[in-house]
Homo-oligomer: A and B are copies of this chain.
Amino acid sequence: MQSAKSDRIITPYPGAGLPVQGGLVLGDYLSERCRLIEAALADALPEQPGTSAARLLEAMRYSLFAGGKRIRPVLALAACEAVGGRIESAIGLACALEMIHTYSMIHDDLPCMDDDDLRRGKPTNHKIYGEAMATLAGDALLTDAFKVLARSGDGGLPPALVLEVVAELAEAAGSGGMVAGQAIDILSEGVPTDPTKLEYLHSKKTGALFLAAVRGGARLGGANEPQLERLSAYGRALGLAFQVTDDILDVEASTEQLGKRTHKDEARGKATYPALLGLEQSREFARSLVVRAHEELTSFGERAEALRRIASFVVERNL
């Protein structure tokens, strides 16, 4: 953890102003988990000043330490805990998830994709490093994610378990998951859709990685099959709730608030929940998904408290 101290930890969760219930202060919890994850990420991807690869590493770290919400890695750790596991078991997966999420944002922002200039209140990666280096930084983050996850097996975890999590993560992120979602998204711009098709798109584009976070964390924490089933249902509901809320925020929030361009879905003719269902019904849908997510956690008792709070936070957030 030597390099962690030198990294500026940016957390979007100040303790104040977030709900306090049942002894768990969500803002404090999320801030603490963010620090843990960012220290592990800083270890996994140290600066390499003076080397020939310095610029590549700089570009990777620029986006990786740009103040993300770290929801996917936090979920992985919380799912690990919910089945009685130690969070150390899932820290490699947590890093891999955030690296994959970050690569997908860098590539998504490229001129040939969404062509965005702003992300998390800062210029997008290619605005600083150029398109070629941004493409490579994304490629390297994606590749290194599998190294970090595979090497986390060195810490005494059963190799068969880690290997299964590698396979599930690759499945969730690749041509059957996240990338498929992005491809469908591009091809559907301006094409009329319906709620079923939209849910399918989001189950790939956003949902697959959320599900992999929850399932992977639970697996590494020692989940049995019935636990894995219930947490999968939780993860699916949560992933969709996150996306519905993202759609609502794109309509309602300002660029300053989100740190990225808003109102862009409509401008691009992208199908969204507010466009299909209206704002109020979209909010209702998101809330119903959180209720469903909470129901899946009943049998886990106190250990799933963090997962419960995260689900509520995901739809109540304004960033």
Binding site for B on A (CB under 8 A): 45, 52-53, 55-57, 60, 103, 107, 110, 112-113, 130-133, 135-136, 138-147, 150-151, 153, 158-160, 162-164, 166-167, 170-171, 173-176, 179-180, 182-184, 186-187, 200-201
Q: A60-B175, A107-B139, A166-B166 are known contacts. Are A183 and B146 too (CB-CB below 8 A)? A: no
Copies of this protein in the assembly total: 2
Q: Which B residues are CB-close (under 8 A) to A55?
A: 183, 187
A130, A175, A180, A182 — most chain B CB neighbours (10 Å): A175
**Complex: A57 Cα to B167 Cα, angstroms:** 19
Q: Which B residues are CB-close (under 8 A) to A162?
A: 159, 163
* B174 close to A53 (CB less than 8 A): no
Majority DSSP secondary structure for residues of A touching B: helix
User: Which chain B residue shows the least CB distance to A112?
Assistant: B131
Q: A160-B159, A167-B151, A170-B143 are known contacts. Are A175 and B56 too (CB-CB below 8 A)? A: yes
* Known interface pairs A140-B179, A153-B167; 16 further A-B residue pairs with C-beta atoms within 8 A, sorted by A's residue number: A52-B184, A55-B183, A55-B187, A56-B179, A56-B183, A57-B175, A103-B139, A110-B112, A112-B130, A113-B132, A139-B179, A147-B167, A150-B167, A153-B160, A159-B160, A166-B166
